[in-house]
Amino acid sequence: MADPLKIAYSPCPNDTFVFHAWAHGLVPDAPPLDVTFADIDITNGMAERGELDVLKVSYAVLPWVLGEYALLPCGGALGRGCGPLVLTREAGSPADLAGRTVAVPSERSTAYLLFRLWAASEVPGGVGRIEVLPFHEIMPAVRDGRVDAGLVIHEARFTYQDYGLSCLADMGEHWEKTTGLPIPLGAIIAKRSLGAPTLRRIAEAARTSVRMAWDDPAASRGYVLSHAQEMDESVADQHIGLYVNDFTDDLGEDGYAAVRGLLTRAAAEGLVPPLGPDALDFPA
């Protein structure tokens, strides 16, 4: 039996839903997995250090890791109507953020790139200080007045009103309005050193795993909820519905255009290194 591939992905419902079948040995002929659960800011760091074989990372980190890793054409998270939100204690306008302190979950995240691109066009003079906080601390920090605003992702879209907060702006809405493209959030990458045949096998296993999850959603239910950090079951379902879609099955032309568009715009703002012309290519 081949040694398991070392993989890391988040405990969020979209990742556990996608990888359930593969992680449990249900995908025919797929290589076995040795799974580590970690939030995406941690997996981004793992990728930069080249630590594991396969990783779920933010698209924002790709310019730093594509020398060692290849982007898989499936398994990740892109979509529409699912972008990060900027939250404040009271309703206002983007101009209110000028010179203010904003909490973000990571400076190597797609959410942060979308936020910076939005702020460059919508916040006169730009925001003030950026404070990096763990994702679960951001909404309480905004609520308690420790920061002026917070950039949130994932299930916070469904729960921020529980904290008495207002949505100042939707980063995904701005991205879609200005580009017409889906929002690129999380990518699956695998080490190039595994070789083209193994990379293609990994991609096929990821694609089969998500299709098996769609065919029998109940099969993954226990796995999803056991890792969902006390998330309400209905919120978990909404989370999966938003982030697991046709782009998870295959990036396609629009998916690749969205990824290249984000990273090209971010490079023009000096936020990431520029991509090489073949950086996103997957071994045929």
| Average pLDDT, consecutive stretches of 10 residues, N- to C-terminus, the chain (284 residues) | 89 94 96 94 93 96 96 94 90 91 89 92 90 90 96 81 93 92 94 97 98 96 86 82 92 96 94 93 86
pLDDT of residue 82: 78
Q: Which residue has the tokens 């629009």?
A: 254
pLDDT of residue 1: 53
Q: Does the pTM exceed 0.85?
A: yes
Class of residue 215 by CB neighbours under 10 A (exposed 0-12, middle 13-18, buried 19+): exposed
Element (H, E) at 90: none
Based on the residue annotation, tell me whether 239 is a catalytic residue of this protein.
no
pLDDT of residue 85: 94
Which is the catalytic residue, given 24, 136, 154, 174?
154
Question: Which structure tokens are listed for 65?
Answer: 């890791």
Question: Which structure tokens are listed for 11?
Answer: 């405990």
For the CA atoms of 102, 269, 248, 222, what is the dihedral angle to 10 degrees?
-20
Question: Coil, strand or helix: which one is 209?
Answer: helix
Chain segment 158-173, per-residue pLDDT in tens: 789 999 999 999 998 9
